Amino acid sequence: MSATQPAQPAQPVQPGGTQPKVTEREARQVAEAAREQDWRKPSFAKELFLGRFRLDLIHPHPLPADEDVRRGEAFLARLRAFCETEIDGARIEREARIPDETVRGLKELGALGMKIDPKYGGLGLTQVYYNKALALVGSVSPAIGALLSAHQSIGVPQPLKMFGTQEQKDAYLPRCATTAISAFLLTEPDVGSDPARLATTAVPDGDDAYVLDGVKLWTTNGVVADLLVVMARVPKS
């Protein structure tokens, strides 16, 4: 299996259905409904835009736990050494692909499981150290930065952590933390990334299966993925 640039054209799942007719207002409502609903404090950026400098919202900055710092710094040191010796950013751009040996090295380093809890075989890094790691690897190769971030932030691990059953977590998070790269399918022809207008459907087939019917335009990580997140409409019932 060869790794390439993260976003690749997807093949049709089945001939697509009729595109839903959605107004701009309805599309905005879908987007707003997906926003975080449990904010406990005002937005610092919004307050600044309104002319109010709310220093109390950002100071004093919370300090991470000592164990989180130790684990995060140790991984960054290993990742930095790997970036300096094992990643050839110019070659990746020149050949338009990430070499297989580089992907294997990232797996062995634990980079696929940065955001996954150690009990599932992941590193359990905080969001701060996850961001630092992506910035580091992205400075050497943006393609690898996209590969790792798409796998963990919009691929299988994050939605599974938030919404998955315990059985699903036990089955898939250990795979995602060590060997299985995940892909993300949202964009469709003439729809873009507007989830309110998605035409792809997922119809139940038995108790634990769905039949996918639709066309996806891009599949982030698709050519190297073992697991997929597919955005589709399901029956309201």
Average pLDDT estimate for 214-232 = 93
pLDDT of residue 15: 46
Cβ partners under 8 Å of residue 126, min gap 6: 64, 68, 72
Domains held by the chain: number: 1
Assess if residue 50 is contained within a domain: no
pLDDT of residue 192: 83
pTM assigned to the model: 0.81
Assess if residue 57 is contained within a domain: no
Tokens 């003439």, residue? 190
Q: What are 9-67's pLDDT values in tens digits?
A: 544 444 445 667 888 888 888 888 877 777 777 889 999 999 999 999 999 988 999 99
* Residue 224 pLDDT exceeds 70: yes
Which residue did the predictor score with more confidence, 62 or 80? Answer: 80
The amino acid sitting at 187 is T
Assess if residue 24 is contained within a domain: no
N- to C-terminal Cα distance for the chain? Answer: 39
pLDDT of residue 6: 43
Assess if residue 224 is contained within a domain: yes
CATH code assigned at 215: 1.10.540.10
Assess if residue 185 is contained within a domain: yes
Average pLDDT estimate for 191-219 = 91
Q: What are 156-179's pLDDT values in tens digits?
A: 999 999 999 999 999 999 999 999
Assess if residue 211 is contained within a domain: yes
* Residue 225 pLDDT exceeds 90: yes
- The CB-side HSE value for 90 (13 A sphere, CA atoms) comes to 1
Nearest partner of 17 among 184, 192, 236, 203, judged by Cα: 203
Return the bridge partners of 227, or none.
182
Query: Which tokens hold the place of 183?
Result: 């892909």
Average pLDDT estimate for 189-213 = 90
- The CB-side HSE value for 234 (13 A sphere, CA atoms) comes to 7
pLDDT of residue 18: 62
Assess if residue 42 is contained within a domain: no
Q: What are 86-117's pLDDT values in tens digits?
A: 999 999 999 999 999 999 999 999 999 999 99
Show the domain range for 97.
3-19+65-230
Assess if residue 36 is contained within a domain: no
Neighbours of 70 (CB within 10 A): 11
pLDDT of residue 53: 96
Q: What are 130-161's pLDDT values in tens digits?
A: 999 999 999 999 999 999 999 999 999 999 99
Work out the pLDDT band at 1, boundaries 50, 70, 90: very low
